[in-house]
Amino acid sequence: MKKVDVSILGCTGTVGQRLVSMLYNHPWFDITALAASERSAGKKYGEVAGEKWHLPTEIPEEVASMEVVDATPRDAGATLVISALPADVARRVEPEFAEAGCTVSSNASAFRMEEDVPLVIPEVNPDHLKLVDVQKERRGWQGCIVTDPNCTTIGLVIALKPIYDCYGLERVYVTTMQAVSGAGLPGVPSLMIIDNVIPYISEEEGKVVRETKKILGRMGDGVVVPAGFKVEASCNRVPVLDGHTESVFLVTESEVDVEEAKEVLRKFRGEPQKLKLPSAPEQPIIVREENDRPQPRLDRMAGSVPGMSVSVGRVRRGSEPNSLAFTVLSHNTIRGAAGAAILNAELMVAYKMV
C-alpha cells in the first residue's frame, strides 16, 4: 500500500513531539512536512525541537534533518494534516488548510464545540463524522476539520461509553489528577508543583463537561444532540509526568451489577478494532482487578499499542443500586492527544475521507 503523506502542524511542543515519534515509521503515513511558528521556519527540526525534547527516545535522524516550514497550506504539501497547534493559532490557521482542501485532524480545542465540527473518538462516536458534510457545505470548504477531545475528556468518555449504553447515566462526578505534560512546555513551573497539588486548570472543567455531552450525544439530522446527563468536574494538577488519573462517581439510570459492568468495560470494542486501524489497541479498556491500580507510572503505556488503552480499576458500587465508582487512567499525550489525532486520521483514511 502506498503511504499517505501527512503534514504535522505544531510539531515542536509536547504533543508535536509525540506526533513525530508516533508517525515516524507509521505503516500508513509518511511525514511530508513539519510546520511550526515562523520563528522556527527554515531551521532543522533537530535544532528547533532538540532543546525541549522530553521523550526518552531520540529524535529519528531522518526527521531531525528535515527543515521546519511555515504553517501555511502552500508549504504543507499534503492533503492530510494533523494539527497540534495552540488553540489561538489553530483558530486562524486550520480553516486556511480546510479551505485549501486539506483534511485536518486537529487536537486543538479551537473548533471542538462548533456545531458543524465533529468531535470524535473512533471507538465511541465514529458516526459523528457525518457532520463533515454539513461543515463542507455550510463553509464552502473542499477540506474539513475533525477534532479530538481534551486529554482529560477522552479517558473519561471511553470508560463511560459502555456504561452509558448498558445502564444509562444520570450524573457523572469526576475529579482529575492530571500530569504536567498536559500543560506543555514550559508548562507548570517545578517550583509550583513539587510537593504540591494545584487544584485548578484553566478552562479544563468546562471542556470536560461540554465535550463529554457532545461526544456521547446522538447524531441527529445534521446535528449532534448532546447527551442529557449531568457532569460535574474538578480538575487538579499533580506532580506526575504523564498520565491523567480520574476518580469517577456515577449515578446510572438502571441498577448496576459490578461484575457485569467490569465485563462490559472489558469487552468493549469499536470501529478501530473492527477495521484493525494501525493505532488501535486490541482492548480499548483494560480492567484491573488489583486494589491499587491503575497507577499512572505503571499503566500509562498499557495496551497492545503503548499508551492507547485506557485502564479502569477499583470498579465498585456506591451506596445505592444505581451507582458506580471507578478510577480511570489514560496517557494524556498519547491516547489523550497525539494518538487520538492519528487514530482519527486513520479512521478517515479507512473511510476514504482523505
Candidate list 2, 61, 74, 191; residue touching a second copy; CB under 8 A: 191
In degrees, rounded to 5, the angle at the alpha carbon of residue 98 between the alpha carbons of residues 274 and 123 is 20
The CB-of-316 to a second copy minimum distance in angstroms stands at: 9
- Residues in Cβ contact with 11 at an 8 Å cutoff, skipping those fewer than 6 apart: 17, 19, 20, 34, 35, 36, 45, 49, 68, 84
The verdict on whether 54 is a catalytic residue reads no
- E strand or H helix that includes residue 208: helix 204-215
Say whether residue 319 binds a second copy (CB under 8 A). yes
Contact at 8 Å (CB) between 91 and 54? no
Binding segment for a second copy among 70-78, 117-125, 275-283, 299-307 (CB under 8 A)? 299-307
Say whether residue 294 binds a second copy (CB under 8 A). yes
The CB-of-328 to a second copy minimum distance in angstroms stands at: 10
R_g of the chain computed on alpha carbons: 19
Candidate list 54, 130, 266, 269; residue touching a second copy; CB under 8 A: 54
The verdict on whether 151 is a catalytic residue reads yes
**Phi-psi map region of 89: left, alpha, beta (phi>0 left; psi -120 to 50 alpha):** alpha
Give whichever of 234 and 273 is closer to a second copy, judged by the CB atom.
234
Give whichever of 195 and 221 is closer to a second copy, judged by the CB atom.
195
Say whether residue 75 binds a second copy (CB under 8 A). no
Q: How far apart are CA 35 and CA 53, in angstroms?
A: 16
Crossing angle of helices 87-99 and 131-139, in 10° steps, is 80
Where do contacts with a second copy occur on this chain (CB under 8 A)?
14, 50, 53-56, 173, 175, 177, 180-181, 183, 185-200, 202, 209, 230-232, 234, 236, 238-241, 245, 247, 249, 290-301, 313-314, 318-320, 323, 325, 327
Residue numbers annotated as active site = 151, 244
